[in-house]
Amino acid sequence: MAPMSEPIVNLHDHERAAQAALGEAAWAYFSGGAADEISLRRNLAAWQAWGLAPRVLRDLRGGHTRCRLLGREWPMPLLVAPMAHQRWAHPDGEAGMALAAAAQGCGLVLSHQTSTPLQEVAPLVLPEADRGPLWFQLYWHADRSLTTDLLRQVEQAGYEALVLTVDAPVQGVRDRERRHGLPLPEGVRAVHWPADTLPSGAGLCGGLAEVAPRWDDVQWLIGQTHLPVLLKGITHPGDARQALSVGAAGVIVSNHGGRVLDTVPASAELLRPVVETVRTQQAEALVLVDGGIRRGTDLFKALALGADAALLGRPALYGLAHAGARGVAHVLRLMRDEFEATLALTGCASVQDIDLDLLWPCKL
């Protein structure tokens, strides 16, 4: 890693190092949020507002961080969130992200807007014995034959689940990004996304409403693949209920890291009602969450509120931006160490011991 004046000991340090390493436009794209960035800030504050209620003197022997997702055991309840254009952050790009995630026992969700072919990423993850899950994130495309073609590629490459992102039928209004544009460097592009497929004059009244996905499209998609499908960007319990009734294997509670619709509440605030709905309807369906997770204690709180696992977004990109694969590995290692310390200090020998009782009943 590039020498810093202070040692890098937490994810905030990685963020500062990334800002120093990236140009202004890239920093605006990777770190920015929608409009006044209220949801972006609230995502961070809402985890911090929950207090922990540790228990002492419990038996911690044989402790571990293993979890079960989609019928299989994994080393850690943490995955790297799907994020576009990673080779803009660093030449290691999605390959570096994948190697680091697998080495640290964390999962990886590869973005539909990956700048590295999905066929090159999967073999970097699948042979690792102690890896996390490998999933592929999909945006809806109006041309169904393009979608089915991509699905076959995803299945053949060995991805284990599909994540359909449903909260961004149109691009969020991101002021910082609009000031700088999106000057992707030469050779960096979304390799699985056809360049010319948005209706001209895109926008709800300019044709996007015609091609934006609806519930019957989701049902169709689920019928096209043997992979489990999770819906990402669910915030309303009613949508969680509908997701399960059309056959989704689970939902990801997310406001897209505050990048799409500003003033949607924080994921930490939205999570519990979705969990309660899902558990009543279908006990084995998954609920994951992302947005604002920066500490092992945040991950712990997500599980205490009922999530099966969480996704980490920007911090992984920040590690990548200033130090490539090694930077990501360090970010994930820090999360792992902090999470293990939180387990021990709250009296939990494993993630199965985490429950709502370990959160202080009133916010700080």
Ligand X SMILES: Cc1cc2nc3c(=O)[nH]c(=O)nc-3n(C[C@H](O)[C@H](O)[C@H](O)COP(=O)(O)O)c2cc1C
Residues that bind ligand X (CB under 6 A): 29-30, 43, 81-84, 111, 113, 137, 165, 232, 254, 256-257, 259, 290-293, 312-314
DSSP designation for 226: S
* Distance from C-alpha of 264 to C-alpha of 234, rounded to nearest angstrom: 11
Q: Among candidates 138, 128, 87, which has minimal Cα distance to 104?
A: 128
Q: HEC states along 151-163?
A: HHHHHHHCCCEEE
The token pair at 325 is 């694969």
User: Nearest distance from residue 359's CB to ligand X, in Å?
Assistant: 20
When the beta carbons of 315 and 348 are compared against ligand X, the nearer one is 315
Residue with tokens 């949607």: 264
Instruction: Give the three-state DSSP class for 324.
Output: helix
Beta bridge partners of 310: 78, 289
The token pair at 55 is 């228990």
When the beta carbons of 174 and 348 are compared against ligand X, the nearer one is 174
User: Nearest distance from residue 313's CB to ligand X, in Å?
Assistant: 2
Identify the active-site residue in 14, 256, 322, 330.
256
User: Nearest distance from residue 270's CB to ligand X, in Å?
Assistant: 13
When the beta carbons of 147 and 348 are compared against ligand X, the nearer one is 147
When the beta carbons of 43 and 235 are compared against ligand X, the nearer one is 43
User: Nearest distance from residue 103's CB to ligand X, in Å?
Assistant: 20
* Distance from C-alpha of 222 to C-alpha of 164, rounded to nearest angstrom: 10
User: Nearest distance from residue 269's CB to ligand X, in Å?
Assistant: 14
When the beta carbons of 29 and 348 are compared against ligand X, the nearer one is 29
Q: Where are the beta strands (DSSP E) in 48-133?
A: 67-69, 72-74, 78-80, 107-110
- Pairing mode of beta strands 67-69, 286-290: unpaired
Q: Is 256 a catalytic residue?
A: yes
To 5 degrees, how large is the angle CA 214–CA 215–CA 220? 100
Closest chain position to ligand X (CB): 313
Beta bridge partners of 161: 135
Residues designated as active site: 256
